[in-house]
Amino acid sequence: MDAPSAVGTVLLGINAAGQMVGYFHDSQGNYQSFVDSGGTFTILAAPSAPGGTWAQGINDQGQIVGYYGGFDGQHHGFLYSGGTYTPLDYPSPQTTGTEAFGINNAGDIVGSVSQTLVNAFGKPFVSLTVSLPALRCHRIRCHSHRHPPVLPPI
């Protein structure tokens, strides 16, 4: 399968209804997410995403998760449900990016967060990517279900 006008297409998720999600890049190097539902191809353009979007997973309710490149140069996780984008960002001043990779039928979302850490001498060092706890989203509020690290409700 190739997305229309794509140079390369990546499929990353499929649900029981056969809806597929992924991303593609075009000849200008732009990355865009999409959902293919019964042969109908729809581009998922996240707001405030000049750095592209990457859809990563879809559940049987059609909820889609992924991440986008923001104006700040960082990745921001998202939940796309019912035509609405909801950002999923880890609320920490050291965070340099959040990415959502999957969502199950219960609404649990998994992903990762990158943080710039500071050593004992006050000097920043390489970003570390750690697994996020599973998230459960109800009415756009996400709650932590695993320790550590603890992800506060947003």
* CA–CA separation, 69 and 42 (whole Å): 19
Could you state, in order of their start, the residue ranges of all structural domains in the chain?
8-144
Provide the whole-model pTM: 0.75
**pLDDT per residue of the chain (154 residues) written in tens, 0 to 9:** 677 778 888 999 999 999 999 999 888 888 999 999 998 989 998 888 888 899 999 999 999 999 999 888 888 999 999 999 888 887 777 777 888 999 999 888 888 887 776 555 555 544 444 444 444 443 333 443 333 333 434 4
Phi, psi at residue 105, to the nearest 5°?
-70, -15
